[in-house]
Amino acid sequence: MPEVSEHTGELDGLPVFWRSAGSPPAAGEAGAVPLYLHGVPSNSDEWVGFLQRSGGVAPDLPGFGRSGKPGSLRYTIEEYDGFLERFLELVGVARVRMVVHDWGAVGLALAQRRPELVQQLVVINAVPFLPGYRWHRIARVWRTPGLGELAMGTLTRPVLRFVSRESNVTPGPMPEEWLRSVTDHFDQGTQRAILRLYRSSPSGVLEAAGARLDRLTMPALVVWGLKDPYLPARFGRAYADALPHAQLLELPDAGHWPWLDRPELVERVVDFLASEAP
């Protein structure tokens, strides 16, 4: 297994944290590097098991984990798109095999704008950049001024443990390691980033963000835990329909973080990333 290492750097004057494993292709080589993009409210901690098997890089996105969380950022899809492009330049990665989960879907904005950067694509229970999606009840609270701030202030580890019981199919709340990872970094900066991200993304913005998905002709795998309480199963099928060369893997016994309910999914994703010739 590749050893996973931790890195810190500076991008646009702000600290950025990322993990990496394995050796990236040398300059001029044709290989692509797995790029793992986390969602809300987590960070690159959730990709360690993937990195150990496939190698690659996994940043903490701005506003999350150990990366910078300044009040000067708007935390929009467009802003994350630009960050990812500059991050790849920072780490010296010319081409990626992109894996996105939840709000890691911001990577799809970069993929549509710069499709030549992406050799393969894996979409796992990702925020729908598709027509017809309406935010789930927790997101609607976060999108409401005043109420969202109040909700953020009450999201302690015991509350998250209680609320997270719906996120997975395995009985009980999310794993303690996951809960600790989230709450250890759930400071005011992360809370602000979440509120701004959701409030900048009504349904019309989400649909517009996926307007060019049909131009992504690289091999793709769409993985969907069908017991996801936030993102209905039909959007997994919609992603598979929108991407011209996509396989669809539906998991009836998995939730929003499907690899936690179905640990063998890690190998399935890694096998897909290794299966396609450049």
3-state secondary structure of 10: strand
**pLDDT reported for residue 25:** 58
- pLDDT for the residue 31: 81
* List of the chain residues with pLDDT < 50: 27-28, 277-278
Distance CA 253, CA 104 (A): 22
| Three-state SS at 255 | coil
Quote the CA–CA distance of 5 and 65 in Å, as a whole number: 16
Centre a 10 Å sphere on the Cβ of residue 8 and count the other Cβ atoms it contains: 11
- What was the pLDDT predicted at 2? 81
Over residues 26-68, the pLDDT tens digits come to: 544 558 999 999 999 999 999 999 999 999 999 999 999 999 9
Q: CB within 8 A of 176, min separation 6: which ones?
A: none
DSSP per-residue codes, 98-110? EEEEEGGGHHHHH
Give the 3-state secondary structure of residue 250.
strand
- Contact 81/106 with Cβ under 8 angstroms? yes
Residue 265 half-sphere exposure, CB side, CA atoms within 13 Å?
Answer: 26
What pTM value is reported for the model?
0.96
- Give Cα separations from 40 to 61, 175, 213, 278 (angstroms): 10, 16, 22, 31
DSSP string, 183-202: HHT-SHHHHHHHHHHHHT--
CA dist 69 → 20, 150, 157 (Å) = 21, 20, 21
Q: What is the pLDDT of residues 138-171, one digit of tens each?
A: 999 999 999 999 999 999 999 999 999 999 999 9
With CA atoms as reference, report the closest residue to 264 among 1, 22, 49, 46: 49
CA distances (Å), 34 to each of 93, 122, 179, 261, in order?
10, 10, 25, 22
Tokens 């992603």 found at: 239
What span, in angstroms and rounded, lies between the C-alpha atoms of 67 and 73? 13
